[in-house]
Amino acid sequence: MRQLHKEQIETAMAALKEKTIDHVYFTACGGSQAVLMAGQYLFDKELTVPCHVYTANEFNYATPKGLSENSLVITCSHSGTTPETVEATKKAREFGAMTICLSNEEGSPLWEAAEYPVHYDWGKDVDASDLNKGILYGLLFNILLVLDGSKKWETCLNEFDKLNDLVIAEKSKFEITAKEWGKNQKRDKIIYTIGSGINYGEIYSTAACWFMEMQWINSNAIHSGEFFHGPFEITDYDVPFILVKSIGDTRFLDQRVEDFTKKFSNKLMVLDQADFDLESIDSVAKEYIAAVLSGVVIRQMVEAIAFERGHSLDVRRYMWQMKY
Amino acid sequence: MRQLHKEQIETAMAALKEKTIDHVYFTACGGSQAVLMAGQYLFDKELTVPCHVYTANEFNYATPKGLSENSLVITCSHSGTTPETVEATKKAREFGAMTICLSNEEGSPLWEAAEYPVHYDWGKDVDASDLNKGILYGLLFNILLVLDGSKKWETCLNEFDKLNDLVIAEKSKFEITAKEWGKNQKRDKIIYTIGSGINYGEIYSTAACWFMEMQWINSNAIHSGEFFHGPFEITDYDVPFILVKSIGDTRFLDQRVEDFTKKFSNKLMVLDQADFDLESIDSVAKEYIAAVLSGVVIRQMVEAIAFERGHSLDVRRYMWQMKY
């Protein structure tokens, strides 16, 4: 993590130590909300302090009654201009909550709205630990150090310094798989994504942003725990699924989905986190590193299918084209 | 509400009054989880006590750290046999939490697992206030009376006695609309559902259970607040949507979706809760009554499309046919 990001997080943590937090709220929209979902899962499992994640306008229009001066509200917007997220941050401050935002744009409306803004970098050549997810985990582990205190969060912080090397290695390992997947699936009108636990956010943004928004491919992110309670009846030999198989606590849920789906669909792509080479990583950090790596491989798959379909990931027909 | 249900809820409330609750958890699977989502929304808005909803196996395998003897855990399964939900109820009791279950089956494994089981009726001729949602709202308002104390929850309880007459009236009013919708959409391979606030659970089960499970129609439940942050790029003249337009706090979110989608899709069905005749209902209860009525109309639409497609709602290819 760059010195700049570290200092911004340290400033926020110094303030956090002075507060009594009885509620953590994550709120953002779309892909940014999806990124924050990992935080909700992690805190839920590791903190007794309750923690929620909201799409920003639900937070704004149906504001939770628990929001108060003892709340910590974490928001995120890449451009820092997402109106709903800026509004949510302002609302949180009106209630006296401590606000931390993540953004790629210093000086943006979100940056100005939050009490403790934290910057993340962006671009192909940036170290993975300085991108949005790397910075988010850095923030989360620091918050856990303050609120929970376990030494394992220091270990996690240190292990994330190895993220970039792992990203490069796994990208290379999955390059051909991703390209083949793109070739094979390019005619599909719908692709379902499935996952659980800390990976739900990743499969949510894969469905909503990569497929629906950027490829105009129908999609739906199905929680592995819900698959057998409705959605699985859609399974057929020609129905494509991407399953992220966790190495975390919810692996059994994903395994059940794989065992069933491979019998009835010829188009199941399993991204098994056990295939990532995480030998150099302390066991307490593996699940979180793996969650980021899954996103990297999915991005490769999406780039491959976009190329095969001649549909650039930069194309939009409504977003940026009109007011709505 | 029948005397039996009332007594079961009263027994639970007498116990609740003796407890200090610092966390409410709702957990179930599929359609039952969807029903409980209304509880999560309602409590989140009306109580400072934090409240979460989980698919049962995520609760089991990644158990929230906040689960303790000061938790209230509410579970639901129609048959009372859903293994994940039974397990979640047992786990909650192991942690010393107070457990309330909703089920149609007295004496079922779920019924035996929960400390305070509450029965709901089922069937075409049953009074709507004795069905699962009627009983759930009865339970929720009673809990709010204990934990919040406002008189408005008594009003809500009383207003729900009028539910059955309203159901009959709205069913009749929407009968032709529902049949026409079924005729017009019967060839569609995908139908998206959209909603927000207290209605999200209803559009979630419409997608996952009515369409994917019972009609093998592709679907995805999109939160109105997320629509413009990815999913809306899928919109085209021939893409079908069902939008539940709330009369509650999140109506603005739904309105934005309608304003946009009606311009770019010829297959938008708006179910506007403002069209329900709720004049006889006290304003504090309208939103909750409307949420139930939306479900009734959606059910009519689903029955209509099932008839048109010759695909009975009772057909399954995997569920009940095999072990998985």
Residues B89, B106: Cα–Cα separation, whole Å:
15
Residues A244, B241: Cα–Cα separation, whole Å:
28
Residues B292, B137: Cα–Cα separation, whole Å:
10
Three-class DSSP category at A53: strand
B230 and A253: CB-CB below 8 Å?
Answer: no
- pLDDT score recorded for residue A124: 87
A58 and B250: CB-CB below 8 Å?
Answer: yes
Would you say how long chain B is, in residues? Answer: 324
- pLDDT score recorded for residue B28: 98
Output the average pLDDT for chain A. Answer: 97
CATH of segment(s) A162-309: 3.40.50.10490
Output the average pLDDT for chain B. Answer: 97
- pLDDT score recorded for residue A53: 98
- pLDDT score recorded for residue A18: 97
Q: Mean of the pLDDT values across residues A209-231?
A: 98
Instruction: From chain A, pick out residues whose CB is under 8 angstroms from the CB of B223.
Output: 55, 58
Q: What is the DSSP letter of B76?
A: E
- pLDDT score recorded for residue A224: 98
Q: How confident is the model at residue B263 (pLDDT cuts 50, 70, 90)?
A: very high
Q: Closest approach of chain B CAs to the CA of A201, in angstroms?
A: 13
B30 and A249: CB-CB below 8 Å?
Answer: no
pLDDT tens-place string over residues A35-51:
999 999 999 999 999 99
Number of other residues whose CB lies within 10 A of the CB of residue B81: 14
Q: How confident is the model at residue A192 (pLDDT cuts 50, 70, 90)?
A: very high
B260 and A226: CB-CB below 8 Å?
Answer: no
Residue B198 in this model has a pLDDT that exceeds 90: yes
Q: Which residues of A261-282 are buried (b: 16+ CB within 10 A; e: fewer)?
A: beeebebbbbbbbebbebeebe
B317 burial type by CB count under 10 A (0-12 exposed, 13-18 middle, 19+ buried): middle
Strands (E), chain A: 23-28, 51-55, 71-77, 98-103, 116-119, 190-195, 218-223, 241-245, 268-272
Residue B1 in this model has a pLDDT that exceeds 90: no
Q: Mean of the pLDDT values across residues B177-190?
A: 98
Residues in CB range of B111: below 8 A, 6 or more apart = B80, B101, B103, B105, B117
Q: How confident is the model at residue B124 (pLDDT cuts 50, 70, 90)?
A: confident
CA pseudo-torsion sign B225, B170, B282, B39: negative
Domain range list for chain B: 3-150, 162-309
B30 and A219: CB-CB below 8 Å?
Answer: no
Residues in CB range of B267: below 8 A, 6 or more apart = B184, B185, B188, B237, B238, B239, B240, B241
- pLDDT score recorded for residue A67: 98
Residue B52 in this model has a pLDDT that exceeds 90: yes
Residue B3 in this model has a pLDDT that exceeds 90: no
Looking at chain B, which residue has its C-alpha nearest residue A23?
A: B50
- pLDDT score recorded for residue B262: 98
**B170 touches B135 (CB < 8 A):** no
ipTM of the complex: 0.97
Evaluate whether B3-150 and B162-309 have a shared fold: yes
Residues B301, B299: Cα–Cα separation, whole Å:
5
**B215 touches B311 (CB < 8 A):** yes
Residues B59, A25: Cα–Cα separation, whole Å:
20
Cross-chain CB nearest to B208 (options A61, A219, A230): A230
Cα A205-A168-A208 angle, rounded to 5 deg: 5
Residue B20 in this model has a pLDDT that exceeds 90: yes
Kindly report the pTM of this predicted structure: 0.98
Q: Copy the structure tokens of residue B282.
A: 């006290």
Q: Copy the structure tokens of residue A175.
A: 């390059």
CATH of segment(s) A3-150: 3.40.50.10490
Residues A174, A85: Cα–Cα separation, whole Å:
35
Number of other residues whose CB lies within 10 A of the CB of residue A209: 22
Q: What is the DSSP letter of B241?
A: E
A164 burial type by CB count under 10 A (0-12 exposed, 13-18 middle, 19+ buried): middle
Q: Which residues of B103-126 are buried (b: 16+ CB within 10 A; e: fewer)?
A: bbbeebbbbebbbbbbbbbeeeee
CA pseudo-torsion sign B230, B236, B238, B240: positive
pLDDT tens-place string over residues A53-75:
999 999 999 999 999 999 999 99
Cross-chain CB nearest to B45 (options A48, A65, A259): A65
Residue from B16, B46, B14, B110 nearest B287 by CA: B46
Q: Which residues of A44-81 are buried (b: 16+ CB within 10 A; e: fewer)?
A: bbbbbbbbbbbbbbbbbbbbbbbbeebbbbbbbbbebe
Looking at chain A, which residue has its C-alpha nearest residue B57?
A: A225
**A122 touches A150 (CB < 8 A):** no
- pLDDT score recorded for residue A1: 78
B208 and A225: CB-CB below 8 Å?
Answer: no
Residue B185 in this model has a pLDDT that exceeds 90: yes
Instruction: From chain B, pick out residues whose CB is under 8 angstroms from the CB of A45.
Output: 62-65
Instruction: Name the percent of chain B lying above pLDDT 90.
Output: 98
Q: Closest approach of chain A CAs to the CA of B230, in angstroms?
A: 5
- pLDDT score recorded for residue A2: 84
Q: How confident is the model at residue A3 (pLDDT cuts 50, 70, 90)?
A: confident
Q: What is the DSSP string of A188-232?
A: -SEEEEEE-GGGHHHHHHIIIIIIIIHH--EEEEEETTTGGGTGG
Instruction: From chain B, pick out residues whose CB is under 8 angstroms from the CB of A226.
Output: 29-30, 33, 55, 208
Q: How confident is the model at residue B254 (pLDDT cuts 50, 70, 90)?
A: very high
Cα A81-A87-A89 angle, rounded to 5 deg: 95
